[in-house]
Structure 1
Amino acid sequence: MRVMLAASDNRLSFPICFHLIQNGCQIDTAYDGLECLTKLKQSPPDTLILSEGLLWGNADGIVACLRENEPLSSIPVVLILNQPDSDMTIAWVDTPVVTSLPKPIHPSELPDFLSSLSACLLSCEAAKTEIAATSLR
C-alpha cells in the first residue's frame, strides 16, 4: 500500500513512517499543504494520512481540494486531530475522510495510536475498493 503522510510534526511523523515501513507500506511525506497538494497530483497514494495542523494549507484546505479534484476525490483520508473533540470534524462531512484519530499527547500513547492507525488503513483499503466498485456501475 502506498501511503502519504502529511504532517508538520516530526516527533509524530518519524514513528508513523517507521511503523508503516515495518508493516510493508511505501511512504511518501509532505511537511506542508503546498508540498502535499503537489505530491498528490504527481503521484496519488492509496491512502492519505493528514494532520489537522498541517502548515500552509491546513487539513481543511487539503480536503477541500481533494473534494473538488475528481481523480483525487477517491483517495481515502485518515485525519489526525489535534484534539479528540475538535470542531474541525464538522468540516469533514461529504469528504473522503474515512476516519479520524486523536494525536497522541504522550509517548506512552504511541503504541495504541499506531495500532489504531493500522486498523484505519485496513478500513481505507476496503473503502477504496468500495469506491472503485461503485464507480464502475
Structure 2
Amino acid sequence: MRILFVEDDQTLCDAVSFHLINEGYLVDVCYDGADALYFIRQEAYDLILLDRMLPSLDGLALLKRIRALSISTPIILVTALDGVGDRITGLDAGADDYLVKPYAIAELSARIRALSRRPTQWESLNHLSYGDITLDLAGQSLKGPSHSCSLSKRESQLAEVLLKNPGQTLPRAMILARIWGPDADVEEGNLDSYIHFLRRRLHTTGSTLQIKTVRSVGYTLENSIC
C-alpha cells in the first residue's frame, strides 16, 4: 500500500512515516498543500493522510480539489480542530475519516486498517472491478460481458493502475514508475505497446471500457456508456 502523508510539522511527519514504513507501507511525504496536489496528480496513492492546517493550500481546500478531480482515494483528515462543526465540515468536504491531534500511532494504524477493509474504496481480496470488467489480480485474467482472457504480468499491472483510477488522467511518467519502477531504464514506447495490448484485451472481453489517450499527458480509462 502506498500512502501520501501531508503534514507541515516535519518532526511529526518524519516520526509517523518512520512508523508506517516499519509496518510495511510505502510512504511519500510532503509539507505543503500545493506540493501535495502535484504529488497526487503524478502518483496513484492507496491512501492520503492529510493535515488540515497547511501552507500554500490548506488541507480543506486541497481535499475539495482532490474530490473535484474525481480522485476517490481514501483520505484521513488529521487536525487539531476537534469541534463537531469542524468534523462535519471535513467529512462533508470528502474526507473518509477524521483524526484529532494529538493521536496515538496505534490508533492511526487501526484507522488505516479499517479503511482498507471497505470494499467500496479498496479492492476486494484479489479482484478489482469497474464498469463491466473484473480483474483477477492473482490469476492475471480479465473478465468482461462476453469473454475472459489471460493477461501478461505487465498487462495485469497496467490494468490494475487504470482500474484503481477510473476517469482520471494518469501521466505517462506515473504509469511507467508504478509498473517498471521509478529508476527503471525503459523506453516510453514500451508503455504505448502495452496500452495497445490492453485495448485489444478489453475488446476481446466485449467491454465498453475505453483507454483514451490524452495528448502529451497520458491515459485515462473511461466507460463509454456513461
Q: Is contact 1:77–1:98 with CA below 8 Å preserved after alignment? A: yes
What is the rounded CA distance, in whole Å, between the counterparts of 1:11 and 1:86 in structure 2? 28
Q: Is contact 1:77–1:124 with CA below 8 Å preserved after alignment? A: no
What is the rounded CA distance, in whole Å, between the counterparts of 1:124 and 1:75 in structure 2? 11
| CA 1:78–1:32: 2 relative to 1, 3 Å | same
How many angstroms does 1:89 deviate by? 2.1
Aligned residue number for residue 90 of structure 1: 88
What is the rounded CA distance, in whole Å, between the counterparts of 1:43 and 1:100 in structure 2? 23
Between 1:93-102 and 1:48-57, the stretch displaced more is 93-102
Q: Is contact 1:3–1:26 with CA below 8 Å preserved after alignment? A: yes
Aligned residue number for residue 157 of structure 2: none
* 1:49 pairs with 2:40: no
Aligned residue number for residue 114 of structure 1: 105
Q: Is contact 1:5–1:13 with CA below 8 Å preserved after alignment? A: yes
What is the rounded CA distance, in whole Å, between the counterparts of 1:55 and 1:11 in structure 2? 16
Between 1:91-100 and 1:50-59, the stretch displaced more is 91-100
Q: Give the partner amino acid of 1:46.
A: D
Aligned residue number for residue 37 of structure 1: 37
Measured on the aligned residues, the alpha-carbon RMSD in Å equals 2.1
Q: Which residues of structure 2 form unaligned runs of 5+?
A: 123-127, 133-226
Larger-Rg structure: 2
* 1:6 pairs with 2:12: no
- What is the DSSP-based 3-state SS (H/G/I as helix, E as strand, rest coil) of the residue aligned with 2:77? strand
Larger RCO (CA within 8 A; separation ≥ 6): 1
State the percentage of identical aligned residues: 24
- What is the DSSP-based 3-state SS (H/G/I as helix, E as strand, rest coil) of the residue aligned with 1:29? strand
Q: Is contact 2:74–2:121 with CA below 8 Å preserved after alignment? A: no
Q: Is contact 2:90–2:98 with CA below 8 Å preserved after alignment? A: no
What is the rounded CA distance, in whole Å, between the counterparts of 1:96 and 1:44 in structure 2? 18
| CA 1:24–1:119: 2 relative to 1, 3 Å | same
Aligned residue number for residue 102 of structure 1: 100
Aligned residue number for residue 121 of structure 2: 131
What is the rounded CA distance, in whole Å, between the counterparts of 1:92 and 1:18 in structure 2? 26
What is the rounded CA distance, in whole Å, between the counterparts of 2:84 and 2:56 in structure 1? 19
Q: Give the partner amino acid of 1:39.
A: F
Aligned residue number for residue 77 of structure 1: 75
What is the rounded CA distance, in whole Å, between the counterparts of 2:94 and 2:73 in structure 1? 6
TM-score (norm 1): 0.82
1:94-115 Cα distance to aligned partner (Å, 9 max, x none): 44412111111xxxxx6xx110
Q: Which residues of structure 1 form unaligned runs of 5+?
A: 105-109
How many angstroms does 1:56 deviate by? 1.2
Q: Is contact 2:5–2:29 with CA below 8 Å preserved after alignment? A: yes
| CA 1:39–1:86: 2 relative to 1, 3 Å | farther
Between 1:40-49 and 1:9-18, the stretch displaced more is 9-18
The count of aligned residue pairs is 127
